[in-house]
């Protein structure tokens, strides 16, 4: 399917690694220009080089997304460079294991800053451009908001907030024709996930156990499968879709795992 994204400008937070990198690569392959925003400039530049090597276009912007001034500056730099923004993918964040029992009030608030607050900040500062372009917002979120996981209050609360903001913004931005949707991730094999698996006593057995809990295909979702959905939601091919939380998870969240 031709998504007609050629020449459009998309901002992807955390767009240098894992799911974010896959989204950046897919958008660039569709002819879009990708503004990769993240705290590690070396990672950002490596992703830009990889995209260029595949014939795509991207630029890197450094920002500590938990800081409002950094988010505002990143958007200003992107607008100065490209002159427009056609879509925003809020993706940056990580399951940081800040729980109720093993955490602290300070750690919980920091987790919200790392995983939720910048979703609002980036959307807030990009909004004038999105109004002009009648663009779209895609929020990457997690099944932890619905299923719980245990030991990760900050991340679960952040994803609950991401889901709520998706629907809230979809309503608020209706007058401007800006669509807002979310892609919910369950078990997706990324470098970060692999690093976590390797900390377990028997990584191979743990991976097999997790795979066997995923109804469709007994395998994890790939980053590209998440990226393909994000690209579709950014495109006019999904022109009457807004306020939706779409689970790209092989049925993990909602289907009986015994099937």
Q: Which residues are catalytic?
A: 155
Give whole-number Cα distances, 164 to 37, 126, 167, 199, 215, in Å: 23, 19, 5, 33, 27
Q: Which long-range contacts (CB under 8 A, 24 or more apart) does 166-175 make?
A: 166/139, 166/141, 166/243, 166/244, 166/245, 167/243, 167/245, 169/123, 169/137, 170/242, 170/243, 171/243, 173/130, 173/137, 174/242
Residue 157 makes CB contacts below 8 A (sequence gap 6+) with 108, 111, 112, 116
* CB within 8 Å of 227: residues ≥ 6 apart: 19, 22, 23, 25, 26, 27
DSSP 3-state of 148 = coil
CA distance 214 to 16: 27
Task: Residue 55: count other Cβ atoms within 10 Å of its Cβ.
Answer: 9
CB 36 within 8 A of CB 15: yes
């Amino acid at each position: 399917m031709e998504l007609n994204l050629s020449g459009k400008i998309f901002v992807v937070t955390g767009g240098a690694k894992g799911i974010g990198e896959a989204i950046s690569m897919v958008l660039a392959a569709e002819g879009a220009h990708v503004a990769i925003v993240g705290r590690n400039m070396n990672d950002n530049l490596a992703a830009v080089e990889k995209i260029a090597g595949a014939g795509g276009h991207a630029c890197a912007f450094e920002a500590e997304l938990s800081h409002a001034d950094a988010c505002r500056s990143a958007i200003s730099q992107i607008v100065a460079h490209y002159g427009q923004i056609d879509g925003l993918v809020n993706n940056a964040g990580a399951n940081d294991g800040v729980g109720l029992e093993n955490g602290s009030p300070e750690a919980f608030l920091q987790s919200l800053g790392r995983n939720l607050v910048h979703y609002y900040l980036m959307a807030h500062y990009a909004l004038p451009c999105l109004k002009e372009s009648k663009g779209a917002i895609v929020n990457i979120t997690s099944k932890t908001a619905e299923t719980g996981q245990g030991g990760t209050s900050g991340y679960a609360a952040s994803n609950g907030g991401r889901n709520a903001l998706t629907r809230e913004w979809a309503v608020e931005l209706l007058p401007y024709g800006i669509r807002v949707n979310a892609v919910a991730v369950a078990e997706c094999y990324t470098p970060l996930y692999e690093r976590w698996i390797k900390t377990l006593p028997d990584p191979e057995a743990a991976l097999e156990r997790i795979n066997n809990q995923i109804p469709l295909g007994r395998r994890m979702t790939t980053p590209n499968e998440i990226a393909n959905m994000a690209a579709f939601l950014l495109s006019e091919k999904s022109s009457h879709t807004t306020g939706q939380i779409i689970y790209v998870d092989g049925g993990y969240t909602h289907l009986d795992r015994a099937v």
